Amino acid sequence: MSSEKDDVKAPVNGESEAESLTDSNEDPSLEEDDAAVVTDEELEQAEEKLSEAESDSGDAETSSDEDGAESDESDAAEDESDDEGEAEEPGQMSLLDHLGELRIRLTRAFIAIAIGMLACYSFAEQMFDILMKPMIKVFQDQAAANPVLTPEFYQDFGRALTQLLADKGFAHSEQMQLFTDSLQQALMQVTQQGHFQYTYPAEAFFSHIKISIVAGLFLVSPYVFAQIWGFIAPGLYSHERKWMIPMAVISALFFTAGGLFGYFVVFPFGFEFFAGFSTEGIQFTPKLNEYLSFCLKLLFAFGFVFELPLFIFFLARMGMVSSAGLRKKRKYAILIGFVLAAVLTPPDPFTQCLMAGPLIILYEVGIWVAYFFGKKEKRHLKKQAEEEAAAQAELDEVAAEAEEEAEKA
């Protein structure tokens, strides 16, 4: 076995030696020990690989520069999106967050009303007289229009009584005029029932408390409306939230204007109408608690009704209503106005008309408010379309200039 292997290996070794001798004769460098063998084809392949590596490195550098620019742009975009996210973060709230926010806002509003009530309680008696004054004036007007005893009677009675007492040696004749005036007022109240009555012992005290609460609410109404708008703010855009404080102040002004309208306009006509049904057999003697509840209900009702133009302004700015749509739905608005007046006022047609009339007028004012400030008005849409067209034209012009510069380059 070993001899056959040697016979086989011998010529192979011989051939390899012969080939090595021939190669050494052709290339002398191969005679050196441990010399590397490199052919022309391998050199060409190495040069091609080197050129490809250089081109790849250049592309990698350009791509890295582009990737760096893109990464910078993406980082800037992410920063902007983060800033926008932080700006819009209040709008992203869950239901529990909204309930918690509502609880906080209501708590602040109630605390403010309590502070306003404490501040107004010192003037409760003066405000009580002011609130009673419209009804008392109606009693006085009716007593003067239908006197049981004429003013001439009191004048003649005073002169005769003064002369009689002076003859008897009465030493206080100068105070007789005060006595006759007081007697006249007392008899007028007795004959016309021009006073209020209460049956519950603490009713007058709680009436002063109610008046203080209502006065405190009107006093701190800007803060209360600020809390209301603060609760609505998470659903608004950032550029719309800057109107929150002005809207709170305007809301308070409209609310107060509605209460003043009810006191100076509606109360005199309404009370005169209701008191006109009293006759000799039917005397009108209002109960203090019922009269006070009636007055406060009307004050609140007219205060909220006067918020209608502001409510329409808010919807118009959001693009939910337009003046044309409000005009088309005018008949429905009139019907809703009478229904709302029936709900907010006592169940009598006269008071309903006194509220429905201003409500319809305020609706017409709201139409003009939507016309001037609405987002969906034709003139505003036309202006917006023109602005968008101008912006698009500028973009096209910039793109065309960039293409021309690229062609020149």
The 10 Å CB-count burial string (b at 16+, else e) for 33-64 is eeeeeeeeeeeeeeeeeeeeeeeeeeeeeeee
Predicted local distance difference test score (pLDDT) of residue 72: 47
Predicted local distance difference test score (pLDDT) of residue 171: 75
Predicted local distance difference test score (pLDDT) of residue 374: 78
User: 65: part of which helix (H) or strand (E)?
Assistant: helix 40-88
pLDDT in tens, 181-228: 787 776 665 555 556 777 888 888 888 999 999 999 999 999 999 898
Name residue 200's amino acid: Y
Predicted local distance difference test score (pLDDT) of residue 320: 81
pTM over 0.75: no
Predicted local distance difference test score (pLDDT) of residue 108: 93
Contact 229, 248 (CB under 8 A): yes
Predicted local distance difference test score (pLDDT) of residue 265: 87
The 10 Å CB-count burial string (b at 16+, else e) for 4-17 is eeeeeeeeeeeeee
The token pair that represents 4 in the structure block: 């056959």
DSSP states of 287-343: BHHHHHHHHHHHHHHHHHHTTHHHHHHHHHHTTS--HHHHHHTHHHHHHHHHHHHHH
C-alpha span between 119 and 123 (Å, rounded) = 8
168 φ, ψ (degrees, to nearest 5): -85, 0
Predicted local distance difference test score (pLDDT) of residue 99: 86
Q: Which residues of the chain have pLDDT under 50?
A: 1-36, 60-91
Strand-pair partners of 287: 197
